[in-house]
A and B are shown apart, each in its own frame.
Chain A
């Protein structure tokens, strides 16, 4: 199957080339031949304050936002599989719908609704006597704001959670009920272990999203990093280096460093899986 080979070439060759570029001063536009500069780019990477800041920003935001990326869709799914709920299908469709909205449009909508002066969020807070902050300009509130924007993208995770929660054998719940387990106890000790592979899957997807997190900060404030560099994400810095300054060799270095970090972090996650992800229930 030549297609299979072609497919791997599409990844393997550029990755190798990317690694090679990271040892050069390649800049695409200048006429001079590309020069091998050894480890210069990698040394620069280690001391570059922009790199350290953007990596820290990305990790900090990740630590804050990843739990929401799991808990919110899981909570919504839990609501939506409830036996008591009416119009379940319609609810499911409507909760998923924002995930279909083009990201740029969603960022613009949130940019308006959370605007300090004209946004509805602060108007509603004003009704109950709270003076809402300037969400996107305040260092304290910028990450919660980004999480709010992200909530419109939980649809996929929610749908997968719904499917997996529906596949939990009802007999397990019945047995727990006979043993006198509360709603929370059966959620904690039955639902969570059974759907743990799905939690894992969604966590991996969310992590990938974090490494590539670019669009929201870029559209929100043109990639200025405001407030105070808090939205200067790694991907944003990569974009500036590679496609605004056209320092392609260094950009390739940044990309490879991200790749190494991504492999390490996802590797850690896969390693941790054996302690908390239970595959024995997943035979359907």
Chain B
């Protein structure tokens, strides 16, 4: 295999900042700058367009969605109250060429009567022509109540609680165990280190289904199917990706620090805890975030282990179930999707720096 393992420490170095700015080349003319930025902006616009669809659809009513030729924004036909009656607002072309938004008092095939909502006292306005050719006028009418509806229908608080338990405990296990394994691989003289590292990488490539059947059978026999345990306990046995990333980081911490601690009488766990961990903070945060997102997203295993316990399912599984129930109501589906993504997106926006650095680091070793 071409993967380089156990290479000298110096080839890997910590990258606290991605080198974005390089001063070596003179700035290009302004025009090119705006052109590139414009193109990138356009690409971004298309890329994020589905989010726009989600936002808009999530506050539409079923009627607005059902109206295929209706406006894109959540708008409903406007009405206007006149002498105790609700008049439909229509866009009426006037003889002078202008268009006015008027309330229809008396529809007719040849002549219709309208009321100007800005000046109802002026009385009915007569308009010649068939009212059916007129377009209704719309007003913005977002259906905010879709969110509480989706919230209740999908039992969002329960799903959120389950997701947080699975993701939270799993993250603790994954981080703690990966630190220990990575520490061992980075600092101790271990026979066959190279082989171990290659096998470690091989487990990343391993399709997860290979181990799934016996694992499921085991959890079934010991009565764990239908509990959170199969989703949490395995993460206490480390994961190759996290170990890899943390080991990279360990290698950047000078060994002299350990040695100094040992001379001062610290054992290896004490060294790890007081000397190395404080320096490892960015990597630990990155690994925690990765696992958090993994657990938030994980779908297959929660589905098979919790298929009979809807009260224990996390958001990913619950959202899909919600989709099978309310397939015909895109507004509820999109509200549900928005509820499911809002927390991860906010966490990302706050922690993006650490997160993106962690990804950089994972790509350093090819």
Q: Which residues of A contact B (CB under 8 A)?
A: 1, 3-4, 6-8, 10-11, 13-15, 17-18, 21, 26, 28, 76, 79-80, 82-89, 91-98, 100-106, 108-113, 115, 117-120, 123, 151-152, 156, 159-160, 162-164, 166-167, 170, 174, 197-198, 200-201, 204, 208, 211-212, 214-215, 218-219, 222, 235, 238-239, 242-243, 248, 251-252, 254-256, 258-259, 262, 266, 270, 273-274, 277, 279, 282-284
| Residue from A14, A86, A94, A113 in contact with B33 in the complex, judged by beta carbons closer than 8 Å | A86
A-B contact pairs, 29 of them (CB 8 A): A3-B238, A8-B199, A14-B212, A18-B213, A21-B214, A28-B217, A79-B39, A79-B43, A84-B28, A84-B32, A84-B36, A85-B33, A91-B40, A93-B349, A96-B352, A98-B48, A101-B341, A102-B316, A102-B344, A106-B337, A108-B319, A120-B50, A151-B47, A212-B207, A243-B216, A248-B213, A248-B217, A251-B213, A258-B209
* Pair A115/B319 contact, Cβ less than 8 Å: no
Selected interface stretch from B100-108, B123-131, B251-259, B296-304: B296-304
| Residue from B205, B209, B212, B362 in contact with A204 in the complex, judged by beta carbons closer than 8 Å | B205
Shortest Cβ distance from residue B330 to the other chain A in the assembled complex, whole angstroms: 5
* Pair B48/A1 contact, Cβ less than 8 Å: no
Docked CA distance A92–B352 (Å): 10
B345 at the interface (CB under 8 A from A): yes
Q: Taking CB as reference atom, which chain A residue is nearest B20?
A: A88
Residues of B within 8 Å of A152, CB to CB, are: 50
Task: Name the 6 nearest CB pairs between A and B, nearest first.
Answer: A160-B363, A17-B214, A14-B211, A197-B366, A1-B184, A84-B36
Shortest Cβ distance from residue A183 to the other chain B in the assembled complex, whole angstroms: 12
Q: Taking CB as reference atom, which chain B residue is nearest A266?
A: B205
Residues of A within 8 Å of B218, CB to CB, are: 14
Residues of B within 8 Å of A86, CB to CB, are: 33-34, 37
Shortest Cβ distance from residue B2 to the other chain A in the assembled complex, whole angstroms: 5
Question: Which B residues, 346 to 366, have Cβ-Cβ distances below 8 Å to chain A?
Answer: 348-349, 352, 356, 359-360, 362-364, 366
Docked CA distance A22–B28 (Å): 63
| Residue from B24, B54, B190 in contact with A112 in the complex, judged by beta carbons closer than 8 Å | B54
Residues of B within 8 Å of A279, CB to CB, are: 2, 4, 366
* Pair A118/B196 contact, Cβ less than 8 Å: no
* Pair A170/B214 contact, Cβ less than 8 Å: no
Residues of B within 8 Å of A164, CB to CB, are: 363
Q: Taking CB as reference atom, which chain B residue is nearest A119?
A: B53
Residues of A within 8 Å of B54, CB to CB, are: 109, 112-113
Residues of B within 8 Å of A6, CB to CB, are: 237
Shortest Cβ distance from residue A58 to the other chain B in the assembled complex, whole angstroms: 11
Docked CA distance A164–B34 (Å): 25
B210 at the interface (CB under 8 A from A): yes
Question: Which B residues, 310 to 340, have Cβ-Cβ distances below 8 Å to chain A?
Answer: 315-316, 319-320, 323-324, 330, 333-334, 336-338, 340
Shortest Cβ distance from residue A19 to the other chain B in the assembled complex, whole angstroms: 9
Q: Taking CB as reference atom, which chain B residue is nearest A89?
A: B20
Query: Other than the known A102-B316, A118-B65, A208-B207, what 14 A-B pairs have Cβ atoms closer than 8 Å?
Result: A11-B203, A79-B40, A83-B25, A86-B34, A93-B356, A105-B336, A105-B340, A113-B49, A113-B53, A163-B18, A166-B22, A243-B304, A258-B209, A279-B366
Residues of B within 8 Å of A255, CB to CB, are: 207, 209-210, 212-213
* Pair B330/A94 contact, Cβ less than 8 Å: no
Residues of A within 8 Å of B340, CB to CB, are: 102, 104-105
* Pair B213/A252 contact, Cβ less than 8 Å: yes
* Pair A26/B210 contact, Cβ less than 8 Å: no
Residues of A within 8 Å of B4, CB to CB, are: 279
Residues of B within 8 Å of A28, CB to CB, are: 216-217, 220
Q: Taking CB as reference atom, which chain B residue is nearest A241?
A: B213
| Residue from A1, A11, A102 in contact with B319 in the complex, judged by beta carbons closer than 8 Å | A102
Please judge, given known A-B contacts A17-B214, A112-B54, whether A198 and B363 are in contact too, CB under 8 Å. Answer: yes
* Pair B181/A3 contact, Cβ less than 8 Å: yes
Shortest Cβ distance from residue B328 to the other chain A in the assembled complex, whole angstroms: 11
Q: Taking CB as reference atom, which chain B residue is nearest A222?
A: B324
* Pair B330/A115 contact, Cβ less than 8 Å: yes
Docked CA distance A259–B211 (Å): 10
* Pair A21/B19 contact, Cβ less than 8 Å: no
* Pair A112/B206 contact, Cβ less than 8 Å: no
Residues of A within 8 Å of B11, CB to CB, are: 283-284
Docked CA distance A196–B312 (Å): 45
Shortest Cβ distance from residue A214 to the other chain B in the assembled complex, whole angstroms: 6
